[in-house]
A = this chain, B = another copy of it.
Amino acid sequence: MVGGGEGAFIGGVHRMAARLDGHWDLVAGNFQSDPEKSVAFGLGLGLAPDRAYADFRTMAASEAKRADRIDAASIVTPNSTHHAIAREFLNAGIPVICDKPMTTTLRHAQDLADVAARTGLPFILTHNYSGYPMARQARAMVEAGELGAIRVVQAEYAQDWLAKELPGNKQADWRSDPARAGPGGALGDIATHAFQLAEFVTGLKAETIAADLAAFVPGRRIDDNVNVMLRFNGGAKGMLWASQVATGSVNGLKLRVFGDKGGLEWAQETPETLLFTPLGEQQRILRRGGAGVSASATHATRVPGGHPEGYLEGFAQIYTDAAELIRAHQEKREPNAFAKLAPRVEDGVRGVAFIEAAIASSKADGAWTGLAA
């Protein structure tokens, strides 16, 4: 693991998620930019002294030489550092599991895609929300044609934790600093999740978007509210709203998809169910572990329905799928088909292309702007 030291939020999440299904052990890491603190933090986690690294370059080089080298490097640092770190590990021959957004520029994103292609190494992006069983169920239903031709896509991701200034909050701090978070605020942090989920579920690609970004909190340097209209290949239209100032919202990622034969709705805060309505029929509540659920959703399931799985389980699924992808790569075999649902470097490129297009469109007063990847 690179990142995830003292005061970090997502590092601890990655560690729990990796642990849950028993496929990963944390054996090496560089957790903070301060070398001494990083080593101390690693020792505190029980790492062997020679694997509690002071910097990521040494870690990549040292691990590459070990017989018992790490199977993957999990990168959970602020966005602006992903590119250099991921590049280092890929070039050292080590697969990468990287947090999103993948990079802060499309150029960097494409560069990582190129390096991943050149090295042939697995590169998994933790768009964790696509690890939820019922998000995969939604995708399976669209794929199976149960919704017919998709017409309308409504995606949203509403939070309120940045509705006022949070001086001294480490999370708020780096996420609203363009130097570390990249040019997008809510755009990079959460709109990319909504965007990835929309494309993941529908199998469509947004071709052009029209965006109106805003920074409502006084003094905020990057957007905290994102309004986007989308046009997908095949003619579907959509809207995407992401906000960190939506007072009363907690972590409201929600997707609705409407086709000419049926419509569905899934919300991250109630992830166990999915609403589905075949046109002209009664609405149905599909439940994880329940009747009529796809093999791909079952693949992502641990306990029976009614025993709620949640965020950590969905996140764990990405790690579990990553384990399978990496094992298959090591064993030179085709991975389990469902493991391939884990987001990868291409999703990262799409996400950064979305960010850049949204910023460009907003600067051009909402002009429809194509995604450059």
Contacts and interface: CB of A to CB of B under 8 A. Distances in A.
A250 B287 contact: yes
A49 interface: no
A310 B307 CA distance: 7
A79 interface: no
A231 B212 contact: yes
A291 interface: yes
Give 5 closest A-B pairs by Cβ, nearest first.
Answer: A251-B306, A248-B277, A250-B306, A308-B310, A247-B263
Interface string A3-34: 00000010011011001111000000000000
A243 B271 contact: no
A164 interface: yes
Interface string A73-92: 00000000000000000000
B248 A262 contact: yes
Interface stretch (A56-64, A253-261, A325-333): A253-261
A261 B239 CA distance: 26
A147 interface: yes
A166 B278 CA distance: 17
A279 interface: yes
B152 A269 contact: no
Indicate how many identical chains form the complex: 4
B282 A284 contact: yes
B250 A303 contact: no
Contacts of A276: 248
A156 B311 CA distance: 27
A321 interface: no
A305 B237 contact: no
Interface residues of A, number: 85
Contacts of A22: 15-16, 19
Interface in A238-293: 238-239, 241, 243, 245-252, 256, 258-265, 268-272, 275-287, 290-292
A111 interface: no
A205 to B, nearest CB: 17
Nearest to A262: B247
Contacts of A241: 154, 239
A275 B275 CA distance: 13
Contact of A152 (B229, B246, B264, B278): B246
Q: Which of A15, A243, A275 has the most CB of B within 10 A?
A: A243
Contact of A20 (B20, B151, B227, B247): B20
A95 B154 CA distance: 42
Given A212-B237, A307-B311, A366-B368, 9 more contacts: A147-B247, A159-B306, A210-B229, A212-B231, A227-B239, A239-B241, A246-B263, A269-B272, A303-B311
A160 B281 CA distance: 12
A309 interface: yes
A212 B229 contact: yes
A310 B303 CA distance: 11
A51 interface: no
B303 A13 contact: yes
A244 B197 CA distance: 24
A1 B24 CA distance: 21
A143 interface: no
10 contacts: A147-B247, A151-B214, A164-B260, A248-B262, A248-B277, A251-B304, A268-B308, A282-B286, A282-B287, A303-B312
A211 to B, nearest CB: 9
